Chain A
Amino acid sequence: MAAYIIRRLFFLLFVLFGVSVLIFGLMMTFSPERRAAAYITSPQQAKDIPRIVEQLGLDDPVYLQYLRWVGRVAQGNLGWSLVASSTVWDAFWRYFPTTLELNLFAAPLVILVGIWLGTLAGVNRDTWLDHATRIFAIVGWSLPTFLFALVLLMVFYGYFNIFSPGIISDSVQLWLADHPDQFTRYTGMYTIDGLLNGNLRVFADALAHLVLPVITQVIVVVALLMRVMRSGMIEEMGKDYVITARAKGADFRTIYHKHARKNALIPVITVAGQLVALSMEGSIAVEVIFNRQGMGWWLAGSATQLDMPVLMSVCLFIGVVFVVANLIIDLMYAAIDPRIRLE
């Protein structure tokens, strides 16, 4: 297992190097003058562009510029974000908790609902229950996240006026600004900070703002998990050990929930990486629509402002998070299924 982990860590470094080259290559499609234009703020400064190109070495050979960029990134100097009006590094730590919070609430729900409904559909194959879950899955798969979120907002915010967009209500925000000494931001996540500070008002308010985003995220992500779980259950139920257990008179609950489901979970782990990717993409749309200042909101905002340096950094951040998540999944997979390690 140790050798496997070491091999995977080397692979991680390789992928990170590849991603950085890829992103840097994209940046290099801009002419040096155009990249220099990012450093000026007014038309009067346009005459400074050749000087900036000279000063920052934007005309140097590509490998030199790459090394310089990597050096800067390694020191944590990622540039300035227009959207956040702070350094990229600070902005990252400000925005990351919001995205993490959304997914901390959505992920367990996705896993529970997906596995539960998928098992149910697989066990009751070709009954109305199966058809209903399949229709649910295919409709969920066809719903664009941003549209679904908009419609939820239309109904629950517009019509019923119960849940509002944003991370926290204005009144709570004002109270927090007035009493900075009574509320410590331990994690940057309002729900968890609310609990840690023993402030139920903040907790409840932040939770209410999470309801619609989490529902959106779950509906969009759960379809894939449900489908894989269902086909996994169907496959396992046809296997000899299930038939043996049934012939021995074991009751259905034991067979399905203790034997078949465990094995059906193995293919689920293979799509776990895809689930993480889906959650990340989902977070972008959810944060844009519900106006939650997180990583996805930042990415979309930077994209609309054509803020390429930030986009590169965000891409790199998300790449790192995604690769690390995949590493964890692979290690879990190797722990469960010994055949993987020997490959």
Chain B
Amino acid sequence: MKTEHPKLREFKFTLYRIFKNPAAIIGFSLLIFFTVVALAAPYLAPPKYAHAPYRMPHKGFSPTPKAPSEKNIFGTTSGQYDIYYGVVWGTRTAFKIGLWVVCVAGVIGIALGVIAGYYGGWFDEILMRLVDIMWSVPLLVMAMTIVVAFGRGLNNIIIALILVEWRWYVRVIRSEVLKLRDQDFVQAARLMGVSDFKIMWRHILPNSIYPVLIMASMDMGSMVITASFMSFVGLGAPKGFADWGQMVALARNYIVGPPDDPLRYWYTVVIPGGCIILFVLAWNLIGDALRDAFDPKLRRR
């Protein structure tokens, strides 16, 4: 009988665990949907201004939203911006925010955390005290202050979130590395004269990465929430930029309609807001499924 490579078998088992979970299937389906929308944005909603596709086209300046019609299938929001266009291109904005923040903060945090955990000593001491300081101000408060210092704008929101969020990754990966550092297989590699870099890269990192992956998935969602709140408050891109948080902000004065029809403008809040919720939900469901699949305590039951 042909035996499988153990790594392949483990990988298959992990996939099986993930896809046995109905929540994961919903999560991945949503994610695939959003990815397709983001990639196909130029076809789904052809830009009116070729040089600035993120600018939402608008006909007129009337502040009163218009209900969904044949021309604007999701209606228009305050300022006559087309909601459909904004939602489609806003998907790209959301991916941009999430991926940039999580990837850059993740790489910085993982690199620093592995080095600090592996070598210890003064570098570890200084880094961890710095993390302690960063930790003493809540994410949103710190990020808002940084955005104000650097100036409004989506790119500055991303930079601010990176500057604050790396602290999480350092903490998580460092505690994993500390558990591994003195284990036999690492000692053995060291005795055999494997270079420090190779030990960290080939032996420690693959064994400590899972908690970080779970966190990164959850983080994609929470970073998009935080960024959209900052856009909502008015720290984000200039008015008219396709961004879900800003679209909710545009609708803010219309959450309550005229007395005879109080929910008349529901679509201005519910459509962009629903996008934020579903996007975040997708990443959280995936993160949750990864946790179940990777957690050794739950894995073989």
Residue A110 is within 8 A (CB to CB) of chain B in the complex: no
What total of chain B residues lie within 8 Å of the partner, measured CB to CB?
A: 48
Give the nearest-CB partner of B280 in chain A.
Answer: A142
A138 to B285 Cα, complex, angstroms: 7
Residues of B within 8 A of A151 (CB): 269-270, 273
Residue A264 is within 8 A (CB to CB) of chain B in the complex: no
User: When the two chains form their complex, are residues B133 and A314 in contact, meaning their CB atoms are under 8 A apart?
Assistant: no
Give the nearest-CB partner of B270 in chain A.
Answer: A151
Among A25-33, A171-179, A206-214, A255-263, the one that faces the other chain is: A25-33
Known: A153-B255, A277-B139. A142 touches B150 (CB 8 A): no
Residues of B within 8 A of A315 (CB): 137, 141-142, 145
Known: A154-B266, A158-B256. A147 touches B136 (CB 8 A): no
Residues of B within 8 A of A153 (CB): 255-256
User: When the two chains form their complex, are residues B147 and A322 in contact, meaning their CB atoms are under 8 A apart?
Assistant: no
For A15, give its contact among B132, B152, B269 (CB under 8 Å): B132
Residues of B within 8 A of A319 (CB): 136-137
Contacting A at CB under 8 A, from B215-230, are: 221, 225, 228-229
Among B41-49, B95-103, B232-240, the one that faces the other chain is: B232-240
Known: A154-B256, A315-B142. A19 touches B229 (CB 8 A): no
Band of interface residues on A: 35 or more
For A284, give its contact among B140, B150, B152, B234 (CB under 8 Å): B140
Question: What is the predominant secondary structure among interface residues of chain A facing chain B?
Answer: helix
Contacting A at CB under 8 A, from B84-107, are: none
Among A40-48, A98-106, A301-309, the one that faces the other chain is: A301-309
Give the nearest-CB partner of A227 in chain B.
Answer: B288
For A314, give its contact among B132, B141, B221 (CB under 8 Å): B141
A-B contacts at CB below 8 angstroms, number: 129
Provide the A264-297 mask, 1 if CB < 8 A to any CB of B, else 0. 0000000000000100110011001000000000
User: When the two chains form their complex, are residues B281 and A158 in contact, meaning their CB atoms are under 8 A apart?
Assistant: no
User: When the two chains form their complex, are residues B147 and A157 in contact, meaning their CB atoms are under 8 A apart?
Assistant: no
For B138, give its contact among A26, A235, A281, A307 (CB under 8 Å): A281
Q: How many whole Å from B145's CB to the nearest CB in chain A?
A: 5
User: When the two chains form their complex, are residues A299 and B255 in contact, meaning their CB atoms are under 8 A apart?
Assistant: no
18 A–B contacts, CB within 8 A, in A order:
A15-B132, A26-B146, A29-B149, A139-B281, A144-B225, A144-B229, A144-B277, A144-B280, A147-B277, A151-B273, A154-B256, A158-B262, A159-B263, A285-B229, A303-B145, A311-B145, A312-B145, A319-B137
User: When the two chains form their complex, are residues A26 and B133 in contact, meaning their CB atoms are under 8 A apart?
Assistant: no
User: When the two chains form their complex, are residues A138 and B277 in contact, meaning their CB atoms are under 8 A apart?
Assistant: no
Q: How many whole Å from B142's CB to the nearest CB in chain A?
A: 7
Provide the B227-271 mask, 1 if CB < 8 A to any CB of A, else 0. 011001111000000000000100010011100001100100110
Known interface pairs A150-B273, A323-B136; 11 further A-B residue pairs with C-beta atoms within 8 A, sorted by A's residue number: A11-B132, A18-B129, A27-B149, A29-B150, A142-B277, A142-B280, A146-B248, A159-B263, A288-B233, A306-B152, A315-B141
